[in-house]
Amino acid sequence: MTPHRPRATLRQRPARGAALLVAMVLLTLVATLAAGMVWQQWRAVEVEIAERGRSQIGWIMNGALDWARLILREDALNTQRRGIPTSLNEPWATPLAEARLSTFLSKDAANTEGGPEAFLGGAITDAQARFNLRNLVEDGKVTPEEVALLKNLCRQAGLSEQVAEQLAEGLQAARTGTDAAAPLMPMRVDDLVWLGLDSGTVERLRPLVTVLPRQTLVNVNTASREVLAAVVEGLDLGTAERLVQARQRTPFKTLADAQAQLPAGITLKETVLSVKSDFFEVRGRMRLDDRALEELSLMQRNGLEVTAVQRQRVHSVLPSGR
């Protein structure tokens, strides 16, 4: 005869299983919520650290820009007092090699001990050492003389002369803005892709051209031999190289000084060349742990006043081992 089981015992087993299942669900839910809260707190700390680092680097880069502004202002003072031209023999042309930031901040090791290793470097270059694409269009009309100079530059870069015509037409359309499909006005060399140029063409033109807020002259004291050979009619690369070597010994105070170094038949035009510059590019680089920030600023000098016209920052993560 089968023994009789109490009804209460049969009902208790499903009840205990349901309670155990509820407990496991609640435990899983609590663990998930706790892990989410911990992750959110960790994420908030990481974001705060990153924002603080970005803010600190930004202030340091502002200080580096002030340093560049001071150097350019001192150079302007020398120009006014002694008539010194803008040349590569001036202090502004000496790049700042990457150095540990603590060497600038304090000589007391106790004040910097334990902090992250930060390195700062930079350089100032003459923006008027290159051909200014703004010169291609004046009063909404393309200037044929300037287009001819740009064609010479294109040949120096191994590009077709059609590139010069394409740039002139694109800049004219951007300046006039009469067409609804007109491109935006480029502000820097990278923006030339807006005019239909591919990235490879832009890279070839980068060391030869620039885009400045207004029309400018090419500085004969800072331009490369390629630029000089392109903007001076009848000047070949060999003669341009001799001109570069002559200015290294003694910068040209006037165009007449540079003209004296050239053979007969080659004329330096005051409508194309100068011995002074008003626009400079300041490139600064701040490296902190595995991150780096680079800033490229365009500075304009008007008398003793030096102002930042453009600023562009680039953040990057360095590969391991650097």
Give the Cα separation of 15 and 20 in Å (integer).
Answer: 9
Give the Cα separation of 302 and 216 in Å (integer).
Answer: 13
> Which residues are CB-neighbours of 314 under 8 A, at least 6 positions away?
293, 294, 295, 296
Residue 287: inside a domain: no
Q: What is the pLDDT of residue 58?
A: 66
| Residues forming beta bridges with residue 218, ordered by sequence position | 273
State the CB neighbour count (10 A cutoff) for residue 88: 17
Residue 22: inside a domain: no
Pairing of strands 279-288, 273-274: unpaired
Within this chain, do residues 70 and 168 fall inside the same structural domain, yes or no?
no
Within this chain, do residues 146 and 262 fall inside the same structural domain, yes or no?
yes
Residue 8: inside a domain: no
Within this chain, do residues 73 and 149 fall inside the same structural domain, yes or no?
no
Q: Which domain holds residue 135?
A: 129-274
Backbone angles phi, psi at 283, to 5 degrees: -115, 120
Within this chain, do residues 68 and 169 fall inside the same structural domain, yes or no?
no
Residue 36: inside a domain: no
The one-digit pLDDT tens for each residue of the chain (322 residues) are 555 555 555 556 666 777 777 778 888 888 888 888 888 887 777 777 666 666 666 667 777 788 888 899 988 888 777 778 999 999 999 888 877 776 655 555 555 555 567 788 889 999 999 999 999 999 889 999 999 999 999 998 999 999 999 999 999 998 887 666 778 899 999 999 999 999 999 999 999 999 999 999 999 999 999 999 999 999 999 999 999 999 999 999 999 999 999 998 899 999 999 999 999 999 988 877 667 778 899 999 998 899 999 988 776 544 544 4
State the CB neighbour count (10 A cutoff) for residue 79: 17
Q: What is the pLDDT of residue 90?
A: 92
Of 211, 229, 242, 237, the closest CA to residue 268 belongs to 229
Domains identified in the chain, total number: 2
State the CB neighbour count (10 A cutoff) for residue 245: 11
Within this chain, do residues 133 and 254 fall inside the same structural domain, yes or no?
yes
Residue 133: inside a domain: yes
Within this chain, do residues 137 and 270 fall inside the same structural domain, yes or no?
yes
* Site of tokens 């350019």: 72
Within this chain, do residues 146 and 227 fall inside the same structural domain, yes or no?
yes
Q: What is the pLDDT of residue 96?
A: 82
Within this chain, do residues 68 and 175 fall inside the same structural domain, yes or no?
no
Residue 74: inside a domain: yes
Within this chain, do residues 251 and 174 fall inside the same structural domain, yes or no?
yes
> Which residues are CB-neighbours of 112 under 8 A, at least 6 positions away?
102, 105, 106
Amino acid at 233: E
Residue 189 contacts residue 94 (beta carbons within 8 Å): no
Within this chain, do residues 152 and 261 fall inside the same structural domain, yes or no?
yes
Residue 308: inside a domain: no
Our measurement of the distance from residue 170's CA atom to the centroid of its chain's CA atoms, rounded to an integer in Å, reads 23
Within this chain, do residues 152 and 224 fall inside the same structural domain, yes or no?
yes
**pTM of the predicted structure, to 2 decimals:** 0.77
- Which ranges constitute the DSSP H helices of the chain? 7-82, 102-105, 109-112, 144-156, 162-176, 199-205, 225-231, 237-249, 255-259
Residue 13: inside a domain: no
Q: What is the pLDDT of residue 321?
A: 46
